[in-house]
Amino acid sequence: MDDHPAETAVAEKRSSLFVELLKRLLREKPLGTFGGIIILTFMLVSLLAPTLAPFPYTEIHLIDRLQGSSSTYLLGTDQLGRDFMSRLIYGARHSALVSFSATTLSLLVSLLLGGVAGFVGGKFDLGVQRFVDAWMSFPGLLLLLTVMSIVGQGVLQIIVVLGISYGIGNSRIVRSAVIGIKGNDYFLAAKALGTPLNQILFRHVLPNIMPPLIIIFSINIGSVIMSEAALSFLGFGLPPEVPSWGGMLSREGRQYMEMAPRLALWPGLCLVSVVYGVNMFGDAMRDLLDPRMRGGEGSYGTAVVKRKRGFLSRLLNPFA
Amino acid sequence: MKAYVIRRLLLLIPTWVLLTILVFLSVRFIPGDVIDAMVGRMQYMAGDIDREALEKMLGLDQPVHVQYGRWVGGMLFEGTMGDSLLGGWSVEEKIFGRLALTIELGLLAIFIALIIAVPVGIFSALRQDTAMDYAGRSFAILGLATPDFWLATMIMIYPAIWWAWSPPMELIPFTEDPVGHLSTFVLPCLILGTHFSASIMRLTRTMMLEVLRQDYIRTAWSKGLRERVIIVRHAIKNALIPVVTLIGLHFPLLVGGSVIIENIFALPGLGRLLLDALSDRDYPVVSGVNLLFATVVMGGNLLVDLIYPYLDPRVRYE
**DSSP secondary structure letters along chain A:** --S-HHHHHHHHHHHHHHHHHHHHHHHH-HHHHHHHHHHHHHHHHHHTHHHH-SS-TT---GGGTT----SSSTT-B-TT--BHHHHHHHHHHHHHHHHHHHHHHHHHHHIIIIIHHHHH-HHHHHHHHHHHHHHHHS-HHHHHHHHHHHH-S-HHHHHHHHHHHHHHHHHHHHHHHHHHHHTSHHHHHHHHTT--HHHIIIIIIHHHTHHHHHHHHHHHHHHHHHHHHHHHHTTSSS-TTS--HHHHIIIIIHHTTTT-THHHHHHHHHHHHHHHHHHHHHHHHHHHH-GGGG--S--TT-HHHHHHHHHHHHHH-TT-
CATH class of residue range A34-289: mainly alpha
Q: Which residues of B touch A130 (CB under 8 A)?
A: 11, 14-15, 18
pLDDT confidence bin for A301, thresholds 50/70/90: very low
Higher pLDDT, residue B40 or B233: B233
Binning pLDDT at 50, 70 and 90, where does residue A306 land? very low
User: Is B293's Cβ below 8 Å from some Cβ in A?
Assistant: yes
Measured between CB atoms, does B303 come within 8 Å of chain A? no
More confident residue, A302 or A66: A66
Which residues from chain B sit within 8 angstroms of residue A257, using beta carbons? 153, 156-157, 160
Q: Do B26 and A133 touch (CB under 8 A)?
A: no
Half-sphere exposure in the Cβ direction for B174 (13 Å, CA): 6
Query: Is the pLDDT reported for residue A308 higher than 50?
Result: no
Q: What is the mean pLDDT of residues B70-97?
A: 80
Amino acid B220: pLDDT:
87
CB contacts of B246 in chain A (<8 Å) are 314, 318
Spell out the residues 6+ positions from residue A79 whose beta carbon is closer than 8 angstroms to its own: A65, A66, A252, A255, A256
Does the CB of B125 have a partner CB in chain A at under 8 Å? no
Answer yes or no: do B113 and B259 share one domain: yes
Q: How far is A220 from chain B (nearest CA, A)?
A: 13
Pairs across A and B, CB distance < 8 A: 184
pLDDT over 60 (residue A12):
no
To the nearest whole angstrom, how far is the Cα of B215 from the nearest Cα of chain A?
Answer: 7
* pTM reported for the whole predicted model: 0.79
Contact B208, B121 (CB under 8 A): yes
* pLDDT-above-90 percentage for chain A: 8
Identify any residues that bridge with A77 across adjacent strands, giving them in sequence order: A83
CA distances from residue A38 to A78, A133, A280, B134 in whole angstroms, order as listed? 26, 35, 10, 21
> Residues 3 to 22 of B: which have CB under 8 A from any A CB?
11, 14-16, 18-19, 22
Residues B109 and B178 in one domain: yes
CB-count burial class (<10 Å; 0-12, 13-18, 19+) for B7: exposed
Assess whether B186 and B127 both reside in one domain: yes
Backbone angles phi and psi of A189, in degrees to 5: -65, -45
Would B118 be classed as within a structural domain?
yes
**Res B75: pLDDT:** 81
Residues B100 and B73 in one domain: no
Domain total for chain B? Answer: 2
Please check the confidence at residue B258 and state whether its pLDDT lies above 70.
yes
Angle, nearest 10°, between helix axes B270-280 and B283-311?
Answer: 150
Task: Answer yes or no: is B220 within a domain.
Answer: yes
First to last CA, chain B: 6
- Tell whether B318 is covered by a domain: no
Q: Which of B157, B295, B298 is the closest to A261 by Cβ?
A: B157
Cα–Cα dist B308/A37, whole Å:
41
Instruction: Based on the fold, state whether residues B226 and B182 are members of the same structural domain.
Output: yes
Q: Does B168 lie in the same domain as B40?
A: no
pLDDT of residue A197: 84
- Tell me how many degrees the CA angle A149-A150-A152 measures, rounded to the nearest 5: 70
Are residues B178 and B252 located together in one domain of the fold? yes
SS3 of residue B246 by DSSP: helix
Chain A residues whose beta carbon lies within 8 Å of the beta carbon of residue B275:
145, 234
The interface residues of chain B toward chain A in range 204-223, judged by CB-CB distance below 8 A, are: 206, 209-210, 213-215
What is d(CA B201, CA B210) in angstroms, rounded to the nearest whole number?
Answer: 14
Q: Indicate if the pLDDT at residue B246 is higher than 60.
A: yes
Q: Is B89 inside a domain boundary?
A: no
d(CA B211, CA B216): 9
Compute the distance between CA of residue A73 and CA of residue A76 in angstroms, rounded to an integer. Answer: 5
| Beta-bridge mates of residue B90 | B83
Confidence of residue A105 (pLDDT cuts 50, 70, 90): very high
Mention every residue, 6+ apart, whose C-beta is less than 8 A from residue A277: A34, A35, A36, A37, A38, A39, A42
Instruction: Find, among B267, B113, B272, the residue nearest to B190 by Cα.
Output: B113
Q: Write down which residue in B45, B78, B111 finishes a domain.
A: B78
Least confident of A10-14, A186-190, B114-118: A10-14
User: What is the structure's pLDDT at A101?
Assistant: 93
At A314 the pLDDT is: 47
pLDDT tens digits, B138-183 = 888 888 888 888 888 888 777 777 787 766 666 666 677 777 777 7
Query: What residues in A contact B253, CB-CB < 8 Å?
Result: 139-140
Query: Could you give phi then psi for residue A296, rounded to 5 degrees?
Result: -155, -5
Q: Say how far apart CA B99 and CA B271 lie, in whole Å.
A: 10
Whether the predicted pLDDT of B127 surpasses 70: yes
User: How far is Cα A247 from Cα A238, in angstroms, rounded to an integer?
Assistant: 7
Last residue in a domain, options B14, B43, B78: B78
Residue of A nearest to B271 (CA): A142
**B275–chain A Cβ distance below 8 A for any pair:** yes
Residues of chain B found within 8 Å of residue A249, distances taken between Cβ atoms:
149-150, 153
Q: Do B275 and A234 touch (CB under 8 A)?
A: yes
Using the predicted structure, report yes or no on whether residue A239 has a pLDDT greater than 80: yes
Across the interface, which of A258, A271, A296 has its CB nearest the CB of B213? Answer: A296
pLDDT, greater one: A108 or A287: A108
Instruction: Establish if B84 belongs to a structural domain.
Output: no
Domain that holds residue B66: 2-78
Determine how many CB atoms are found less than 10 A away from the CB of residue A184.
Answer: 12
Confidence (pLDDT) at B38:
65
Q: How far apart (Å, rounded) are the C-alpha atoms in residues B301 and A137?
A: 9
The answer to whether residues B297 and B175 belong to one domain is yes
SS3 B90: strand
Say yes or no: B25 and B144 in one domain.
no
**B83: phi then psi, degrees, rounded to nearest 5:** -115, 155
For residues B228 and B104, membership in a common domain is answered with yes
Whether residues B168 and B47 share a domain: the answer is: no
